[in-house]
Amino acid sequence: MKFLKDLWYLFVRHMMKTLRMPLWLFIGLMQPVLYLLLYMPLLKNMSGGAGIPADEIAKMFVPGMLVVMAMGQLFAGFSFIDEIRVGIIARWLVSPASRLSIILSLVGSQKITLFLQASLLVFIAFLFGLHVPVLGLVLTMVMVLLVGVAMASLSYAISLATKDESALASITNTFYLPIMLLSGIMLPISVAPQWIKTAALFNPFYYAVEGARCLFDGDYGNTMVLKGFGVVIALCVLMIWLALRALKKMAA
């Protein structure tokens, strides 16, 4: 009970901070929406040459954009570093609140923002003619939120370890673009050269994107759905553990 109370109080505190700056909700939505508006029509015009039916373009493209939005949680640590610097995190560490409640409250507040952004993106996609089964959409949102949990936790772990915005920016920017492109967010990896197909197998977000596309198609029994959930759940556990380890090391 105490854990839940600590978690709730910290979560409310983070949400109040987020609500004071609602502009960030739309800033985080801007990149996927621009892809939707400016890139997806190009795929529609190329559908004959690329072998992708025009009515399947949205189902292929939107899941990738949702995963990209979740991967953007990797930048959640930038505002967190400022709180480390001014001593807010140090005060939490000497309080009775558990380390896990501190991490989960931070991650939870980020997930509310991610859910709102993803919902807005799906709504815009529906205006573009997207049709997707309800269960497939719900399961995809769960997978997207799990990706967000993993990336936000990793961002907090890096922030606690470096305590420097420049170091966080260097690390995140080095890895963000390659793993994003190798996840097949814009086009299926199946149309890529063999060396990219091989490299994608080592990218956990490839399984999330492919699993989400299967869910959008209503293909719930596809092995990529199981692999996608299995990989992102394992990634969540690992990244939360890393964030907890970094927080405990800071308290030592």
pLDDT digits (tens, 9 = 90+) for 136-191: 999 999 999 999 999 999 999 999 888 888 888 888 888 888 888 888 887 778 77
Residue 35 has pLDDT above 70, yes or no: yes
Q: What is the mean pLDDT of residues 208-232?
A: 94
Structure tokens that stand for 76 in this block = 């959640």
- 27 domain-assigned: no
The answer to whether residues 98 and 183 touch, using CB atoms and an 8 Å cutoff, is no
- 80 domain-assigned: yes
DSSP 95: S
Q: What is the mean pLDDT of residues 195-199?
A: 86
Residue 49 has pLDDT above 50, yes or no: no
DSSP H/E element including 185? none
- The pLDDT value given to residue 58: 80
- The pLDDT value given to residue 175: 83
- The pLDDT value given to residue 100: 87
Q: Ranked by mean pLDDT, which of 49-58, 87-96, 240-249 comes out on top?
A: 240-249
The percentage of the chain sitting over the pLDDT mark of 90, rounded to a whole number, equals 28
Round the average pLDDT of the chain to a whole number and report it. Answer: 83
Chain Cα centroid distance, residue 52: 26
- 227 domain-assigned: yes
Q: How many CB atoms lie within 10 A of CB 1?
A: 5
Residue 26 has pLDDT above 70, yes or no: no
Torsional class of 163: left (φ above 0), alpha (ψ -120 to 50), beta (otherwise): left
- 245 domain-assigned: yes
DSSP 86: T
Count the domains in the chain.
1
Among candidate residues 161, 156, 205, 164, the one with its CA nearest the CA of residue 185: 205
Q: In this structure, what are the phi and psi dihedrals at residue 12, rounded to the nearest 5 degrees? A: -60, -40
- 18 domain-assigned: no
Which domain covers residue 118, as residue numbers? 2-11+54-251
- 195 domain-assigned: yes
- 113 domain-assigned: yes
- 87 domain-assigned: yes
